[in-house]
Every structure is written in structure tokens, then in C-alpha cells.
Amino acid sequence: MIRVLFVCLGNICRSPTAHGVFQKIIDDQNLSHLFQVDSAGTAAWHIGKTPDPRSQTAAQLRQYDLSGLSARQVEPEDFEKFDYILAMDHENLHNLQKICPSEYQSKLSLFLSFSDMNEDEVPDPYYGGAGGFERVLDLVESASLGFLKELTPGSKA
Ligand code: 4NP
């Protein structure tokens, strides 16, 4: 079982999108028995909320269902529990590095390090227009496929 945690700031836009996209990709390839997928935010503001309606709408148009997710904050136990802790941007990564025990630091990385799109951050779409949510999906789809390919070289990703 490979345990994967996607992390952004609020856990209502980018990381739930990554959670839903990656989950659907592994479901569609009958690989979900190999993974445990979750997402969390570094901030506490939106604990208990479902993903932002703009993220849900954009995701739904690409057949991803985010409606069952609810926001939570990163907890100290996450660093032991998860194998891969994938941050959406440098600030999230830096904030994780500050609270992660030294023996687990190697679990932390930028999610887009698995993408071939030549960008290293998923930009925060919260205060922008609809295009930002499409961009999140484009980047997250690319990185999800790259991540799966790296972990399961025989997959169709
Ligand atoms: P996320 O987006 O980190 O992708 O979930 C944000 C959500 C909420 C806020 C900022 C970013 N906020 O300032 O409340």
C-alpha cells in the first residue's frame, strides 16, 4: 500500500483537486487497491468544508467528483503515516519542512516535480477567475500521470 497525501494551503481548491484526479486515474486503471490517497491543508481556516464550488464545477466537467471530500489540516501523525507528501507550491513545501520530523523530510516534495510541464508550482486559484481552476486541473492531471508512471512503470499512465 502506497500512502499519498496532497497538500495545499486551504485544502479546498488545489489539494482536493489532486486528490480527486489521482483517485479517478487509479480507479480507472484498477490500481486503487495499491494506494491510500488523502489531502490536507497547512492552514486551518476551512476545516470541515467541502471543496470550493468553483473547483468542484471545473472538476465535474472533466468527470472528477470532489463532492465527498472535506477539508482538514495537516497533523503531526501524517508525516509518519504517509509515504509521499506532495505540496502544491514552494510555500506549502516550506511550511511542511518546518514542522516535519527530520527522519521524514525525504517524504516531502513538490507535486509538480512529477510533471513534464516545466512549472514547479500549482498557482493558488482562490482569488482569481475561472481560468485558474482550469490551470489547476491541467497541471494536476499532468503531475498525477507522471507520479503514477514513476511508481508503477507498467501502468498506462
Ligand atoms: P487552496 O486555495 O490552498 O488551493 O485550497 C486556497 C483556499 C483558501 C484560501 C487561500 C487559498 N484562503 O485564503 O482562504
Q: What is the distance, to the nearest Å, from the Cα of residue 30 to the centroid of all Cα atoms in its chain?
A: 20
- C-alpha span between 38 and 33 (Å, rounded): 14
- C-alpha span between 52 and 63 (Å, rounded): 16
- C-alpha span between 36 and 99 (Å, rounded): 22
Taking each helix axis as running N to C, give the angle between helix 53-60 and helix 130-151, from 0 to 180 degrees, rounded to the nearest 10: 60
- Please check whether residue 46 is in contact with residue 71, taking contact to mean a CB–CB distance below 8 angstroms: yes
| Residue 13 annotated in active site | no
Percent with pLDDT over 70 in the chain: 98
The CA 131 to ligand 1 mean position distance, Å, reads 16
User: Is ligand 1 within 6 A of the CB of residue 13?
Assistant: yes
- Please check whether residue 116 is in contact with residue 146, taking contact to mean a CB–CB distance below 8 angstroms: yes
pLDDT greater than 70 at residue 104:
yes
Q: Which residue from 8, 74, 124, 139 has its CB within 8 A of the most atoms of ligand 1, so it is best to mutate?
A: 124
Per annotation, catalytic residue among 3, 89, 124, 135 = 124
pLDDT greater than 90 at residue 84:
yes
Identify the residue with better confidence: 130 or 156: 130
| Residue 8 annotated in active site | yes
User: Is ligand 1 within 6 A of the CB of residue 45?
Assistant: yes
Helix H, strand E, coil C: the string for the chain is CEEEEEEECCCCCHHHHHHHHHHHHHHHCCCHHHEEEEEEECCCCCCCCCCCHHHHHHHHCCCCCCCCCCCCECCCCHHHHCCEEEECCHHHHHHHHHHCCHHHHHHEEEHHHHCCCCCCCCCCCCCCCHHHHHHHHHHHHHHHHHHHHHHCCCCCC
Domain chopping of the chain, boundaries: 2-151
User: Is ligand 1 within 6 A of the CB of residue 42?
Assistant: no
17 pLDDT band, cuts 50/70/90, is: very high
Fold classification of 2-151 is Rossmann fold (3.40.50)
Cell of 81: 503515516
Using a cut of 0.95, tell me whether the model's pTM lies above it: yes
For residues 16-34, give the mean pLDDT. 97
